[in-house]
Structure 1
Amino acid sequence: MRECECLHEPIDGIAVYANLALIVVLLPIISIVGVVLNFFNIFIFCQQKNTAAKYLTALACSDVGVCMAGIFVICSDSLRAHSFFIDQFFVFLLPNIIPLGLFFQMLSVYITVLAAFDCFFSVYRGSHSESTRSTWAPRVLACVVISVAAYNIVQFADLQAIECLHPDNYTLYELCPTELRISETYILIYKGYLYALSMAFLPFVLLTVLTVAIVILMRRKEQQTKSEKLDCDEEEQSPVVLLLVVLLFLCCNLTSLLVNVFEMLKIRLSMEAEAILIDIGNFLVVINATANFFVYLASSNEFRECFHRGVQKFRKSRHRSLQIIRDQNFRIFDQDQVISHL
């Protein structure tokens, strides 16, 4: 039997405390909250008819996957270094769920880019573009989902679980890269240039240019007469929401961009600094997938009204359920009283 060569050892120094605080303690809590909040987003946006809601519904669906990946990929991978049981359990799951996590992360990126394009087009053309945008939105979303899936499918062949002999003379399974994953060509082209281009530079350039263009167009619209503004308030609300979503995305993904830039420029950081930056980047990615709910709640009147109506319906249904339970308990109590008198 081969000796173990890919053991997952814990990191040293201050990086271990950052990893425990951000990834092991805080990340699972935020991920669970993010899953719940994104289901609220899906429920609310499915009730809205505008084109922006279609993109935001798709974004909420992909963000559910990102939050789940925060628990089952990012957090579990860190816990593997501290627990033998978790390590041996996830060593068989990670080769399949890591590509899924990367799929949802890339999907969120490009749905955000699509939402920015839609935002720009709606601000540029106004209400006249709604029918065109509504027609093309499902088709474009389907093409993006298929393209992202096709790009990431190769990563299912990246890792494998192999039985090996530990230096302390017992057998276990370890997570090792496949021959494809250690290929220099694959690392340089697919994991290097293509990944940096598709997940860092291209989305950030597109989103930055679109954000600047949207802000310029919206400032020009603000110079219109007050009466014209009142007529456009409702249609301008969606671009504002989408613009805030894009800005949040740029802020939360800046750290991951910096890590990719350092790798591309071959800027060497210390092991601790690199590990901390990676943990911060992963933590902010999940924050981004969770915080969109608060952006919608703060900036969209329609979202706020739908959310409040949903909360009120839940309270009323809960109150009715409790009332029914109380009535049933009273009836049982009365029956017991009658039986005791008999």
Structure 2
Amino acid sequence: MHPSAGVWSPAMNATSEVDEENSSLFTALVQMLSHLLNGYLTAFFVVTGIVLNAFSVYIFLRCERTGTPAIQYYLVTLTLWQTALLANAFLLYSLPNLLFGHLVSQGSYVHLYPYVYTFANTTHTGSVWIVLTLTIDRYLALCQPLKHRAIGKKSRVRRLMVGVSIMAVFFSLPRFFEVHVEPWCQDGHCVATIDRTELFENKIYWSVYHVVLAMLFVTLCPCLLLFGLTLRISLALRSAIAKRKSLCAPNADIDARNKKCQTSRKEHKSNIMLVLVIAKFLVSDILPTVIDVLEHLVGQSAFMRSPLASLFVDISNFLIVLNCSSNFWVFIVWGKRFRKSCRNIMLSSQLGMYIYKLSRWNSDSDLSYCGPSSFTTVNNTTKIYGSDGRSFRQQRCPDAQSESMKERRTTGTLWVANRAFSHKATRGGERRPTNGGPAKEENKKEEKSWDYEKSDQLDELEKQRLLSSTGEY
């Protein structure tokens, strides 16, 4: 034994006091971060997420009237599950921190815990399974399109979403019997407390349900499967991009006018949107999966005694809340149809129209619509959107429009006159030369020229048409 062993010294006492002070400071910092994450940040993202998710569901259901792709059934179901998860996270973590300053284990509020705890696990399980089915659907669509065409019908997708949701509810039912509320009395005063049941303390139940089944169907295996399928989908998207570039013309102007390339570009963007939704979910679910595995390895009681472990649990819960509240931004950035529906809804109100006009007030993109080829562009726009042809461009450039109309009427009159003269000559048995040939060719060129207008001009004309006539929305 060392001579100084077991001998008290002031230096040893000072060191222990410093360690205790550092430990208390670290514990206070962890508690402050935990209160910030579970309280204010979670409440903010829960409120904004519920509002934006409800608006997203409204957009998807509104598009269903005009014909919706089957993929929107996945997105609607996922958004509903994630909205329910946000509501449960608010009741389970955020509201107690805002009301009492910490999570409570006794009092009248704990009567909500058995239901909220069960439904929180149900919503998380449902979200995982819906994202997994969405990933499998995208994998089949990109890597095995023939098989996807056979099984990816709307009716089958609806039945699949209902079946997966019911299975998630039944899988999470045992959670309801893991905790219960019981009275705790002292000196004649009783208070309700939350406690674990004997089922939760059963080692066989814990090993089978929480370790084996949870890792197979909720945490570890779905996470690994999502990672593998997402990687495979990303490689398939890169291959599709390379193939599209090899098939389409390399010239940017020609590529922008090619309808086939535009269609493939839209499909590519929609696939990127879905991959981002999957990847975002995967990133937010990795940390809870790691924490769950560590908890099973070291034991629940030892794991929860560590303040650092509690902080990681709070961070993982906040990541899940952040993931569930941010899908709207992915939809609006990468979903062209979703963005257009949002714009139409915004323009249907006076406030939205006023904001839209303010945002377009300093835009000078409408100055380019007085060019020589704008008449054919307007004709194409009115054919596509069913308007009467009185677009915003006509109001801005009346002289150019009237000149174009005069030229077109003159050309049409010459063509009709030459056509009648040619018929007369033919019926009289004489074949006389006519001037209808060049005029007819010119007319055909005018009718076909709109096929070669740039697609961005059509989009800008539609925006200007929306400014001049808001009655359609």
Regarding TM over 0.5, the answer is yes
Residues 317/18 of structure 1: CA separation in 2 closer, same or farther (3 Å cut): closer
**Are 1:52 and 1:238, in contact at CA under 8 Å, matched by a contact in 2?**
no
TM-score (norm 1): 0.82
Distance (whole Å) between structure 1 residues aligned to residue 212 and residue 268 of structure 2: 38
Deviation at 1:85, TM superposition (A): 9.3
Of 263, 268, 279, which aligns to 1:247? 279
Matched, 1:237 2:269: yes
Matched, 1:194 2:213: yes
**Are 2:332 and 2:338, in contact at CA under 8 Å, matched by a contact in 1?**
yes
Of 135, 160, 174, which aligns to 1:154? 174
Distance (whole Å) between structure 2 residues aligned to residue 210 and residue 83 of structure 1: 40
Distance (whole Å) between structure 2 residues aligned to residue 190 and residue 77 of structure 1: 28
Distance (whole Å) between structure 1 residues aligned to residue 69 and residue 262 of structure 2: 19
Distance (whole Å) between structure 2 residues aligned to residue 150 and residue 283 of structure 1: 26
1:207 equivalent in structure 2 = 226
Residues 181/300 of structure 1: CA separation in 2 closer, same or farther (3 Å cut): same
Of 16, 23, 42, which aligns to 2:38? 23
Matched, 1:100 2:119: yes
**Are 1:35 and 1:64, in contact at CA under 8 Å, matched by a contact in 2?**
yes
Specify the structure having the higher radius of gyration (Cα).
Answer: 2
1:45 equivalent in structure 2 = 60
1:299 equivalent in structure 2 = 334
Deviation at 1:318, TM superposition (A): 10
Residues 202/90 of structure 1: CA separation in 2 closer, same or farther (3 Å cut): same
Residues 39/126 of structure 1: CA separation in 2 closer, same or farther (3 Å cut): same
Which amino acid letter does the alignment assign opposite residue 140 of structure 2?
F
Of 316, 324, 329, which aligns to 1:281? 316
Q: Which moved more, 1:277-286 or 1:141-150?
A: 141-150
Deviation at 1:12, TM superposition (A): 4.7
Distance (whole Å) between structure 2 residues aligned to residue 183 and residue 197 of structure 1: 20
**Are 1:164 and 1:172, in contact at CA under 8 Å, matched by a contact in 2?**
yes
Which amino acid letter does the alignment assign opposite residue 294 of structure 1?
W
What are the Cα deviations for residues 239-295 of structure 1, in whole angstroms up to 9, with x where unaligned? 221101011011112211220221233387661111000000000101000011111
Matches within 5 A, 1:122-201: 122-126=141-145, 129-130=148-149, 132-134=151-153, 135-166=155-186, 170-201=189-220
Distance (whole Å) between structure 2 residues aligned to residue 27 and residue 14 of structure 1: 18
Matched, 1:63 2:105: no
Which amino acid letter does the alignment assign opposite residue 144 of structure 1?
V
Of 40, 45, 50, which aligns to 1:35? 50
Percentage of identical aligned residues:
20
**Are 2:105 and 2:193, in contact at CA under 8 Å, matched by a contact in 1?**
no
Matched, 1:109 2:128: yes
Distance (whole Å) between structure 2 residues aligned to residue 318 and residue 182 of structure 1: 60
SS at match of 1:174: strand
Which amino acid letter does the alignment assign opposite residue 301 of structure 1?
K
Deviation at 1:65, TM superposition (A): 0.4
Distance (whole Å) between structure 2 residues aligned to residue 27 and residue 293 of structure 1: 17
Deviation at 1:54, TM superposition (A): 0.8
Q: Which runs of 5+ in 1 are unaligned?
A: 1-10, 320-342
Residues 283/132 of structure 1: CA separation in 2 closer, same or farther (3 Å cut): same
Deviation at 1:177, TM superposition (A): 1.1
Distance (whole Å) between structure 2 residues aligned to residue 99 and residue 258 of structure 1: 21
Give the number of the structure with larger relative contact order, counting CA–CA contacts within 8 Å between residues 6 or more apart.
1
Q: Which runs of 5+ in 2 are unaligned?
A: 1-25, 250-259, 355-473
**Are 1:160 and 1:176, in contact at CA under 8 Å, matched by a contact in 2?**
yes
Which amino acid letter does the alignment assign opposite residue 173 of structure 1?
A
Residues 14/162 of structure 1: CA separation in 2 closer, same or farther (3 Å cut): same
Which amino acid letter does the alignment assign opposite residue 43 of structure 2?
P
Deviation at 1:103, TM superposition (A): 0.6
Of 348, 359, 362, which aligns to 1:313? 348
**Are 1:59 and 1:112, in contact at CA under 8 Å, matched by a contact in 2?**
yes
Distance (whole Å) between structure 1 residues aligned to residue 98 and residue 135 of structure 2: 37
Residues 25/282 of structure 1: CA separation in 2 closer, same or farther (3 Å cut): same
TM-score (norm 2): 0.60
Deviation at 1:93, TM superposition (A): 1.1
**Are 2:177 and 2:197, in contact at CA under 8 Å, matched by a contact in 1?**
yes
Deviation at 1:317, TM superposition (A): 8.9
Residues 180/86 of structure 1: CA separation in 2 closer, same or farther (3 Å cut): closer
Which amino acid letter does the alignment assign opposite residue 34 of structure 1?
G
Deviation at 1:223, TM superposition (A): 1.9
Let me know the Cα RMSD of the aligned residues. 2.7
